[in-house]
Amino acid sequence: MIYLDNAATTKPNEKALKAAEKYLTEEFYNPSGLYKSGYSLSLQLKEARKNIVSLIADESKFSCVFTSCGTEADNQAIFCGGRRGNIVTTMGEHSALFEAVNESKQRGIEVRFANLNSDGSVDCEHLLSLVDDKTSLVSVIHVNNETGAINNISDIAQKVKAKNKFTLFHSDGVQAFGKIAFRLTKDIDLYSVSAHKIGGIKGVGALIKRKDLVLKPLIYGGGQEENLRSGTENVFGIKCFEFAAKDKFSGLNQAFDRIFALKKLFCLLLDSTMFDIISPENGSPYIISVAAKGVRGETILHEVDDKGLIIGTGSACSSNSNKRYSRVMLACGLDKQIADGILRISFSDETTEDEVRTAAKILNETVENRRRLMA
């Protein structure tokens, strides 16, 4: 079996699992407990918080709120950061954020959507034109989860602050964290990350925030996470996230270069008479979206699955939607015929050249056969 749907989820890092195992079997205590073992775990959480944040930011200026997933982190940013005036975001956002801002609209907050360029990146000029003195929050996805296009969030945030210094800037960094090199700047207030996209386990995420930013909680209760996210912390999952993240960042640049070469090889091996490459060459090497010409992407997905190749058709979090065409792909300007053939192939650090070659062969043969049957 060849697994190339890593943008949906990744295989857990075995070293991280092993290192975190004791927090399930031995140090299973409640970190809010006043006894010695509980206090010790609270210190472990503090260490994890510092270590994860330090990978992309100055830990003296940024901290994080541990959440159950990237979706929750996005929701907290929207509902607790965009509480007045208007929210500005893009048509290329993950459904976690897109649906959250639509809910904000139902609650009386004006929402403004910036257009996309053809590769899935945001039209910066249009986005900035939407920001005014009543904009409470701007949210721009860092790496588009369907095309892999990279938005220069540092530059965008700086320009947003120049228009309105009181506007909060958030970015969904789920597909960027642990995959591309960057550091958070002073103009970025909030940043969402997820554990299971980089070898952690499902059920853990974080909202990284400026320390001096006053933020309301999304979940109320016992006051955990410095009163920003109540609920007993998932110590095992958080420590696993910490260990997986440290492992990812230790070889981030080398992995980027290797995966970039695999992406280039894969695109060369695909038959151009049967596929259009949608993803930009300078986007994240971990995500490639292609369109099978004249064939439904979902049909191909199931046929290659039977042949031992697992890929996607877009965002896995939108697979429960009854909409046939990707909202993001249509916003990129693709017509419905092309959007109907979209397939998303996504790599991990474990992906090999042999797997890439075999995957391209299976896709070429499958689409060729399907088109022959339809003729």
Provide the angle, in degrees to the nearest 10, between the axes of the packed helices 235-250 and 36-54: 30
DSSP, collapsed to helix, strand or coil, labels residue 303 as: helix
Of 208, 281, 195, 210, whose CA–CA distance to 242 is shortest? Answer: 195
DSSP string across 277-297? E-S-TTS-TTEEEEEETTS-H
Sheet strands (E) in 190-255: 190-194, 205-210
The C-alpha torsion from 201 through 207 and 208 to 209, rounded to 10°, is -170
Q: Which of 80, 124, 317, 332 is catalytic?
A: 317
pLDDT tens, residue by residue, 300-311 = 999 999 999 999
pLDDT tens, residue by residue, 24-73 = 999 998 898 888 998 899 999 999 999 999 999 999 999 999 999 999 99
DSSP string across 2-25? EE-BTTT--PPPHHHHHHHTHHHH
- Partners of residue 172 on adjacent β-strands: 192
User: What type of residue sits at position 252?
Assistant: L
Cα separation, 99 vs 219, whole angstroms: 18
**Bridge-based pairing state of the strands 287-292 and 342-346:** antiparallel
- Asked about 69 being catalytic, the answer comes back as no
Of 138, 149, 152, whose CA–CA distance to 7 is shortest? Answer: 149
**Bridge-based pairing state of the strands 205-210 and 62-67:** antiparallel
For each of the chain's 375 residues, which pLDDT tens digit applies? 999 999 999 999 999 999 999 999 999 988 988 889 988 999 999 999 999 999 999 999 999 999 999 999 999 999 999 989 999 999 999 999 999 999 999 999 999 999 999 999 999 999 999 999 999 999 999 999 999 999 999 999 999 999 999 999 999 999 999 999 999 999 999 999 999 999 999 999 999 999 999 999 999 999 999 989 999 999 999 999 999 999 999 999 999 999 999 999 999 999 999 999 999 999 999 999 999 999 999 999 999 999 999 999 865 555 555 578 999 999 999 999 999 999 999 999 999 999 999 999 999 999 999 988 887
Q: In whole angstroms, how far apart are CA 321 and each of 69, 246, 315, 325?
A: 20, 35, 10, 10
